[in-house]
A = this chain, B = another copy of it.
């Protein structure tokens, strides 16, 4: 069950433990996601050299893989890191940025899942459909499809790989083992800033570092993203000030704010 208490317990654990989260991510969002992890209370490290990723993942409590601005040498590094993470029991979260837009990206995601199934896969509807092999059209890195269009694909991927799957959208859908949770927190401003999807993925990494229940960790992260976004939207004058206020909200997030704002549609089996 995802409740205000379960969200808050994880936030408190992250703040107390400052888990090291190893990110192999894209150039556009490295700074953004590092700052979001720091604001939440985690300790981010960005490292992609194939010569060091095994060592680095050995120090970490979670591994974040994100295929934006991908090249083949980065896929290799991600594979090496993923294998090392799997061997050491470090949970992986995978973000299939732009899957479906190009063959390179779609294949990279499928290969990474085959190498070491992630604990959580998070994408927008187009990306999840593309990973599942559906006929989605990914337009660049933005979804052209609604969340529910990817519901069956999300369940199929979850069932096939044993992972939680998050389909991000105005209402986020989290599925695992046939169970669904919907998180309705958020603001349209999250879509007006680059890398907020990637930030959600990075925060899932922090929650995985303190919570072995992948579906709960994913739902908690999406709730915290949405609530911090709502708080920031309340004071921002546009997408520029929103970015700063979002980090402030994340750093200052209280149990009372979670309790007042959490909008989770209760766990239910797939219909």
> Are the C-beta atoms of A35 and B251 separated by less than 8 Å?
no
Q: Please pick, from B20, B72, B101, B193, the residue contacting A140 in the complex, using a CB distance under 8 A.
A: B20
Task: Report the Cα distance A27→B49, complex, angstroms.
Answer: 13
Query: Does residue A12 face the partner (Cβ distance < 8 Å to B)?
Result: no
Contact of A237 with B241 in the complex, beta carbons under 8 Å: no
Provide the bound-state CA to CA distance between A245 and B39, in Å.
16
Known: A43-B142, A52-B104, A103-B52. Is A192-B38 also a contact (CB below 8 A)? yes
Residues on B with beta carbons closer than 8 Å to the beta carbon of A246: 240
Q: In the complex the two chains form, is B194's CB within 8 Å of A31's CB?
A: yes
Q: Does A34 contact B (CB under 8 A)?
A: yes
Using known A-B contacts A240-B243, A244-B244, determine if residue A46 contacts B32 with beta carbons closer than 8 Å: no
Chain B hits for A195, CB < 8 A: 31, 34
Give the number of copies in the complex.
3
Given A239-B38, A246-B240, does the pair A102, B140 have CB atoms closer than 8 Å? Answer: no
A47 and B69 alpha carbons, distance in the complex (Å)? 5
Q: Are A55 and B139 in contact, with the CB atoms below 8 A? A: no
A56 touches B251 (CB 8 A): no
Determine how close the nearest CB of chain B comes to the CB of A125; give it in whole angstroms: 16
One of B140, B237, B245 near A43 (C-beta < 8 A): B140
In whole angstroms, how far apart are the Cα atoms of A236 and B248 in the complex? 9
A29 at the interface (CB under 8 A from B): yes
For A72, list chain B residues within 8 Å (CB). Answer: 49, 51
Which residues in chain A, 1-56, are within 8 Å of chain B measured between CB atoms? 20, 22, 26-32, 34-35, 38-39, 43-49, 51-52, 55-56
Q: Is A254 an interface residue (CB 8 A)?
A: no
A249 at the interface (CB under 8 A from B): yes
Could you write out 21 A-B pairs with CB less than 8 Å apart?
A28-B46, A34-B194, A34-B195, A39-B239, A39-B240, A43-B140, A43-B142, A45-B101, A49-B72, A51-B102, A55-B101, A59-B140, A192-B251, A236-B248, A237-B252, A238-B251, A240-B246, A241-B244, A241-B245, A241-B248, A244-B244
Residues of A within 8 A of B (CB): 20, 22, 26-32, 34-35, 38-39, 43-49, 51-52, 55-56, 59-60, 68-72, 98, 101-105, 139-142, 192-195, 236-241, 243-252
Instruction: Known A-B contacts: A52-B102, A56-B102. Give 13 more (CB < 8 A).
Output: A27-B27, A27-B46, A39-B192, A44-B194, A45-B140, A49-B69, A51-B102, A52-B101, A52-B105, A55-B102, A192-B251, A238-B249, A241-B248
